[in-house]
Amino acid sequence: MKRLLTLSMFGLLFLNGLLANSLGAAEIKSDIDVMQSSFKLFSSKSFKDKTTAINSIADSGNPIAITVLEALLDGKLYYHKKNKDIIVIQDIGSKSYDLKNPITNFSLGEKTSKQLKKEYKKVGINNKLRGVLNEKLAALTIFSDDKKIRLSAARNMLKNPSSSTVDVLRKAVLQEKDAEVKELMSVCVAAADALSDDVETQLRAVNSLSGSLYPEIRLLLEDLNTKYTENSNVDKRILPAVQSALDSTKLKTGFYKQLENIFFGLSLGSVLLLAAVGLAITFGVMGVINMAHGEMLMLGAYTTFVIQQIMPNSIEYSLFVAIPAAFIVTGLIGIGIERGVIRFLYGRPLETLLATFGISLILQQAVRSVFSPLNRSVITPEWMSGSYEFNPALSLTYNRMYIVLFALLVLVGLMLLLKKTAFGLQMRAVTQNRNMAKAMGIRTGWVDSLTFGLGSGIAGIGGVALSQLTNVGPNLGQAYIVDSFMVVVFGGVGNLWGTFVGAMSLGVANKFLEPYAGAVLAKILVLIFIILFIQKYPRGMFALKGRLADN
């Protein structure tokens, strides 16, 4: 936050400089003169002198003032013992500091803390000065021309509403044009009013705070609630007002919390979907239990890692290369497995399970031998990091949003492939009646290989997505294999919709149980639920009906 502030201030400084050149150099110049003369006062021992200096610096309204005053407040403003020059220090770790001239912002070199103490002395402040500084800083930032500075200033004030800063805010609210900033400012004012001694003001403020989503306000209301519950000799109207405000706040934040849970659930569901949809194809369409499916996810994730190693300078685009690459790599491996092993085991589902489990062990060990058993770090591109803040109680991370979107795209693509293409038609034909399909001239062996390749390839794509969420290591796949089976079994075999609904409902159920039961217990409960569910619906939620179900 602070970095952002100083950054934008440098921007302002630059702008100001431009303006100064073209319009009125005199004004800026005089600001700086004022400052420089005030800086002399900082080396004085008298707090009165310092107050004068603070006042004149603040009154200049120059953005540099913010830097200086903040540094003073944080104890980062030093003066030279001999020539009284003012510097701002910046901690760069391991007990050394970067020294800067606050006006020119030029670095004066680095110094260790010993060297610093030898030449410079900290500008000391007391509590009274701290109050003055807070007030002046609030005024400076809250009237800034930059919306971001104003917004962050108001957000900072919300953390600690004190009467002195709020007086400034009251004026600022009236002047403020931007609705977003204005709303935040009035919440700030109300927060301060809620602590006031005047009952009427307090009541009005508490009422206006009702339903506010800021966590600070919630804490404030909770504090008030406990204070007034214990202490009965206050106005009778206040406690109910506080309680109703608190209830409304809790209700609203609770609502957004649920929304957030649903979103987390959906994103977990999307991960499950990406992991399980390939399995649904191989398991559902071909009746093959592919225990090596988790390893396809892992290989997809490792493909992402390799692609990023190949193109380290364009990480931003690496995922777009990694997706087709992972599809091809895992798809080919899948076809290889089908041709080499599974082809000989059709009609013996339990034995394919064992053989593919063996393959999964081999693949894991291969990855361990090639890439080392340690986790590999896959970089998240800039555009996928960060989060979008809807309101103070609800912010969603971009990477999860993209994954939800991506999972849906994959599902839609797969459905189109199954429903609209010749290959999809052949695949469905083979699923429904292998012998008849063969009689119609479909090369079933071919279709089998391609189907298996498709399922594996999609797992590879899922691996690319997973590499953005979890650690990429040789055991990545194992963590998902049981879950993927649960999804497929729960949703019903041979039905992409079933897989979709299964994945999403399991994801959401998991996330909703988590706050009550903890992550592990939630998982156990979901597993037990599935075990019981299978008893009732042995063929899953969306079971194939009629003749198809016989096999």
Applying CB under 8 A, the residues found at the interface with other proteins are 283, 289, 291, 341, 344-345, 349-355, 357-366, 368-369, 478, 482, 485-486, 489, 520-521, 523-524, 527-528, 530-532, 534-536, 538-539
Least distance CB 508 / other proteins (angstroms): 19
Contact 330, 296 (CB under 8 A): yes
Tokens of 311: 């193109």
- Minimum distance, C-beta of residue 296 to other proteins, in the bound complex (Å): 15
From residue 397, alpha-carbon distances to 140, 389, 403 in Å are: 33, 9, 10
Smallest separation (angstroms) from other proteins to the CB of 279: 11
Nearer to other proteins, 289 or 418 (CB): 289
SS3 524: helix
Is the CB of 24 or the CB of 518 nearer to other proteins? 518
CB closer to other proteins out of 61 and 349 = 349
Least gap, CB of 539 to other proteins (angstroms): 8
Minimal distance in Å, beta carbon 461 to other proteins?
24
510: closest CA among 526, 496, 527, 487? Answer: 526
Q: Give one DSSP letter per residue of 39-97, joined into a string.
A: HHHHTSS-HHHHHHHHHHHHHH--HHHHHHHHHHHTT-EEEETTT--EEEEEE-STTEE
Q: Which are the contacts of 381, defined by CB distance < 8 A and separation ≥ 6?
A: 315, 316, 317, 318, 319
Residue 515 Cβ vs other proteins, minimum distance, rounded to whole Å: 17
In the complex, the smallest distance separating the C-beta of residue 349 from other proteins, rounded to whole angstroms, is 5
Neighbours of 415 (CB within 10 A): 14
Distance CA 529, CA 510 (A): 11
Cα gap 50→42, rounded to integer Å? 5
Residue with tokens 């039905």: 495
Query: Which of 22, 535 has the CB closer to other proteins?
Result: 535
3-class secondary structure for 382-431?
HHHCCEEEEECCEEEEHHHHHHHHHHHHHHHHHHHHHHHCHHHHHHHHHH
Q: Specify the residue, 256 or 529, whose C-beta has the smaller distance to other proteins.
A: 529
Report the residue number, 243 or 470, with the smaller CB distance to other proteins: 470
Task: Report the chain's terminal Cα–Cα distance, integer Å.
Answer: 62
Choose between 42 and 485: whose C-beta lies nearer to other proteins: 485
Residue 53 C-beta: closest distance to other proteins, Å? 57
181 versus 281: smaller Cβ distance to other proteins: 281
Nearest to 285 by CA among 410, 423, 407, 408: 423
